[in-house]
């Protein structure tokens, strides 16, 4: 497995975790939908009227995707590994 393959698998794992978080937040949103309300005058209305206000799925995906772009702009983790291997570990 190459380093590029490993980084791709790590990104896929992070994206799978975002999906799991979305389902957890969706369940919490549905549970909250029954209970959470705020008063406006004499009436009350839900605190979060839309799921996107509770959990921004697109932002979570962008965070995972941009995390790799930000790390590419900085010095890669294994940038000196090739030189070290060429020298024989000395």
- CA dihedral (32, 33, 36, 40) in degrees, to 10, reads 160
User: How many Å apart are CA 78 and CA 90, to the nearest integer?
Assistant: 17
User: How many Å apart are CA 60 and CA 51, to the nearest integer?
Assistant: 14
pTM of the predicted protein model: 0.45
Q: What is the pLDDT of residues 16-75, one digit of tens each?
A: 999 999 999 989 888 877 677 888 888 888 777 787 877 889 999 999 888 766 665 555
Look at residue 46 in the predicted model and tell me its pLDDT. 79
Q: How many Cβ atoms sit within 10 Å of the Cβ of residue 82?
A: 9
Name the residue ranges covered by the structural domains of the chain: 3-77
């Amino acid at each position: 497995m190459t380093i590029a393959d490993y980084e791709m698998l790590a990104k896929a794992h992070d994206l799978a975790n975002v999906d799991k978080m979305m389902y957890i937040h969706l369940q919490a949103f549905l549970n909250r939908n029954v209970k959470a309300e705020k008063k406006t005058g004499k009436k009350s209305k839900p605190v979060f009227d839309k799921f996107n206000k509770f959990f921004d799925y697109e932002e979570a995906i962008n965070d995972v995707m941009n995390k790799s772009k930000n790390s590419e702009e900085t010095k890669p983790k294994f940038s000196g590994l090739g030189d070290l291997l060429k020298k024989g570990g000395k």
